[in-house]
Amino acid sequence: MWGAVEAGGTKFVCAVGTGPDRVEARTVIPTSDPDTTLSSVVEFLTRYPIRALGVATFGPVELREGHPNWGTITSTPKPGWKGVNLAGRLAESLGVPVGIDTDVNGAALGEWRWGAGRGMDPVVYVTVGTGVGGGAVIGGRPLHGLVHPEMGHVSVTRLPGDEFAGICPFHGDCLEGMVSGPALERRFGRPPSELGSETEAAVSLASTYLARGLRQVVYVLCPEKIVLGGGVSRLPGLVGSVGVKLLDELAGYGVTDQHRAEFVVPPALGDDSGILGGFVLAEAAAGR
């Protein structure tokens, strides 16, 4: 049996099991300071005989194996979490091997193993919510190198007449700066889920920029499937619209039949892509 943790800014989801059909137990712990949060995580997981733990976490996180800070949250605005050695502390407390990756690489792993990306290689998972982030599984392995992918921070060509400055503190009008949940809220004056009659306009805008961002992902990583998740992706018609507009962006160059049919899809595992990806990370950690 594996343990899995999906570490987020508002909550830590914990589960034990082996896959989507065998989740023996799960719990949700609100994110507070590291000591309180991690001791609740450990308290839950020690009740079960887990062989290894997989952690899919918010970032940025150091993922270079052998690096002295491996498994450590490197820089984050979340109070108290900067410099926390998430993997090391959980490994020490639980006495089992720990695998760690980003939340979006975790979600990509879950969808690749059991969800919309089954049998596909590479698989890309992009979330559009509080931020925009992306992960990729290539040859069965989550992609990271010197750093981990930051697909939300690619630049996007502006729509004519769009004067919105963008809200990314680093780049202003990168993809995340233009169409994350908070960016849409700034543009429309209300959260994306409360837009009412303006929903269609928000979907049109967001899908155009997402297609422009994903064009770069398609040409660089050559995914066989793009899974689009996160709160904003649940706006009616958004995922389908991104798929159609992405084809426009590709303009017939390097396009296959696979790009034309169900290429951009919602997560098959719903909100569980990341936590289930934790099981895949645990399995890999046990085998090292």
Chain contacts with Zn ion (rule: CB under 5 A): 153, 168, 170-171, 174
d(CA 64, CA 79): 24
Q: Is the peptide bond before 182 cis (omega within 30 degrees of 0)?
A: no
| d(C-alpha 275, C-alpha 271), whole Å | 8
Beta carbon nearer to Zn ion, 18 or 155: 155
C-alpha to C-alpha distance for 5 and 187, rounded to whole angstroms:
34
* Class of residue 65 by CB neighbours under 10 A (exposed 0-12, middle 13-18, buried 19+): exposed
What is the 8-class DSSP label of residue 19?
E
Q: Report residue 244 as tokens.
A: 């159609």
Distance CA 233, CA 133 (A): 12
153 versus 212: smaller Cβ distance to Zn ion: 153
State in angstroms the smallest separation of the CB of 88 from Zn ion.
29
CB of residue 35 vs Zn ion: minimum separation in angstroms?
31
Report phi then psi at 131, rounded to 5: -135, -175
CB of 158 to Zn ion, least distance (A): 14
* Beta carbon of residue 171, minimum distance to Zn ion (angstroms, whole number): 4
189 contact partners, CB below 8 Å, separation of at least 6: none
At which residue do the structure tokens 């507070």 appear?
A: 32
Distance from chain centroid for Cα 53: 19
Could you tell me how many residues make up the chain? 288
Beta bridge partners of 138: 141
The amino acid that residue 218 corresponds to is: V
What's the min distance (Å) between Cβ of 178 and Zn ion? 9
Q: Which residue, 212 or 259, has its beta carbon nearer to Zn ion?
A: 212
C-beta closer to Zn ion: residue 58 or 263: 58
CA gyration radius, the chain? 19
Nearer Cβ to Zn ion, position 58 or 279?
58
Min CB(23)–Zn ion separation in Å = 35
Nearer Cβ to Zn ion, position 137 or 168?
168
- Compare residues 6 and 103 and give the one whose CB is closer to Zn ion: 103
| Nearest distance in Å: CB 142, Zn ion | 21
Fill in the DSSP letter of residue 31: -
Of 38 and 168, which has the nearer Cβ to Zn ion? 168
Q: How far apart are CA 181 and CA 177, in angstroms?
A: 9
